[in-house]
Amino acid sequence: MTFVVADNCIKCKYTDCVPVCPVDAFYEGENFLVIHPDICIDCGLCVPECPAEAIFQDTELPKEQQHYLQLNADLAEIWPNITELKPAPQDAADWLGVENKLPLLVE
Ligand code: SF4
Ligand code: F3S
């Protein structure tokens, strides 16, 4: 079991999820975060912190977003760890709730 960052995070990247994680399981790309599945202890604390409602338990990922499970695992191996809140992108609010942002993900 793990929690997974999904589509809604792309280009929003508020990072409110980061400081609450007790095991520093978040990894940072240019416009998206991921959770390392081997580090996440399934506490669920990050879920209510995300203004974009982008974090799901792996078993509750929407069907059309199943690929984010593997994407989190893969990108967490190559992206740097992030442990502190940082300012969201200036246009984050413009992307809030926009669907199917995967083509915009910078890996
Ligand atoms: Fe961290 Fe808990 Fe969220 Fe997993 S569920 S990423 S351990 S805050
Ligand atoms: Fe992304 Fe939400 Fe965290 S937008 S960076 S999962 S607070």
Residue having the nearest C-alpha atom to atom 3 of ligand 1: 46
* Domain assignment present for 46: yes
* Domain assignment present for 97: no
* Domain assignment present for 93: no
Q: What is the H or E stretch that residue 55 is in?
A: strand 55-57
d(CA 107, CA 105): 6
Condensed to tens digits (0 to 9), the pLDDT of residues 7-55 reads 999 999 999 999 999 999 999 999 999 999 999 999 999 999 999 999 9
CATH number for the domain harbouring residue 67: 3.30.70.20
* Domain assignment present for 95: no
Written as one string, the DSSP assignment of 81-94 is B--S--PPPTTHHH
Residue having the nearest C-alpha atom to atom 8 of ligand 1: 21
For residue 107, report the distance from its CA to the centre of ligand 2, in Å: 16
d(CA 53, CA 49): 8
* Domain assignment present for 100: no
Task: Name the band, by pLDDT with cuts 50, 70 and 90, for residue 56.
Answer: very high
* Domain assignment present for 39: yes
Domain count, the chain: 1
**11 pocket-lining for ligand 2 (C-beta < 6 Å):** no
For 27, the domain range is 3-86
Kindly report the average pLDDT of the chain as a whole number.
Answer: 98
Residues 23, 18, 96, 37, Cα dihedral to 10°: -20
* Domain assignment present for 70: yes
Q: What is the mean pLDDT of residues 78-88?
A: 98
Q: Which ligand is nearest to the CA of 82?
A: 2
pTM above threshold 0.95:
yes
For residue 20, report the distance from its CA to the centre of ligand 1, in Å: 8
